[in-house]
Amino acid sequence: MNKAVLNYTVRELLTDAKKYLVPMYQRNYAWEEGEINQLLQDVLDYQQKSQAEAKTKPYYIGTLVVFERSDGSLEVIDGQQRFTTLTLIAMCLKRLAKESTISIDMDWYDRLNLDFESRTKSSKTFASLYQGVALNHLQSAEYNLDVVNGFALVEKWLLSRKGQIADFSDYLFKNVQVARVSVPDDTDLNHYFEVMNNRGEQLEKHEVVKAQLMSVFNNIAEKSTREANLRVLSKVWDSTANMEKYVQYGFTPDERHVVFGKNDWGQFMPADFGDLLSLLGAELAS
């Protein structure tokens, strides 16, 4: 078998000892009810078809494209929306099993192996969901509300099908498979992002620019400096993404004071990215 392509069951993927990282140049989690329900329903349909035919068939759910970094962690290039959703499903099933809402064994799912690089809110949200924090306690700017909403949609779908969940989860974790594709060490990742995204389509021009900018900071050797640069770029990028509101409102009041001036927010204080890093670095690290 080609070692660059390995088939994993969902359980094998979620319990893989490798650490999977969603790099900051990737889109934020964006799946909504349509995409989430489609994935869940597809698995249920295949499970029921196998059950009706009395013949268990594997269901190939897609690919996960990764790049192995020098520290052994795996950078998720394509497939992060699906991987994130599968993780949310496992976390939700574990919570429901612990609450005795459903009777399935989820003790095997004892750690998270998916994390978000330089996205503190997303990492904090994942950790809180895994720990069982109630969803109403996660409805604030401290958390990634798209991830919280994704979890709530998964929970809604599962609770509406409680009588089917035992067979569904057994099939999901044992028979649904993901092909993990490892790109070669000498892959030009910038070119890869320019040509492909997880649907096999061309990226938008602004996404190519973001990938190019991120590649510069990823080459910084010192970890804390690299992460500080990534946090600032991510903050600026996300704050300027919404063209329907003033850019200042993409920043917290304290951040606005240091970037746009304390009195009228009508100035722009930094002269270059180095100044911006100095002004925002402490705010974003706290």
- pLDDT for 198 equals 45
**Residue 126 in contact with residue 115, Cβ under 8 Å?**
yes
pLDDT at 45 over 80: yes
Is residue 215 in some structural domain?
no
Is residue 206 in a domain? no
Given this model, what pLDDT does residue 24 score?
Answer: 79
Task: For Cα atoms 136, 142, 148, give the angle at the middle one, nearest 5 degrees.
Answer: 45
Dist. CA 179–CA 184, nearest whole Å: 16
Q: Where are the alpha helices (DSSP H) in the chain?
A: 10-14, 33-52, 80-98, 120-131, 145-159, 165-175, 189-195, 205-218, 223-239, 253-260, 273-285
Q: Please check whether residue 192 lies inside any domain of the structure.
A: no
135 and 259: one domain? no
In a domain, 278, yes or no: yes
Residue 200 lies in a domain: no
Q: With cut-offs at 50, 70 and 90, classify the pLDDT of residue 43.
A: very high
Q: Is the pLDDT of residue 187 over 70?
A: no
Give the total number of structural domains in the chain: 2
Structural domain contains residue 234: yes
- Helix, strand, coil: what percent of the chain each, to 5? 55, 10, 35
Residue 207 lies in a domain: no
pLDDT band at 4 (very low <50, low <70, confident <90, very high): low
d(CA 198, CA 28): 13
The Cα–Cα gap between 230 and 208 comes to 16
Q: Report the predicted TM-score, pTM, of the whole model to 2 decimal places.
A: 0.70
Same-domain status, 126 and 183: yes
**pLDDT tens, residue by residue, 221-240:** 888 888 888 888 888 887 88
Q: Give the range of the structural domain holding residue 267, as residue numbers without chain letter.
A: 220-285
Q: Note the pLDDT tens digit of each residue in 234-261.
A: 888 878 877 777 888 888 888 888 888 8
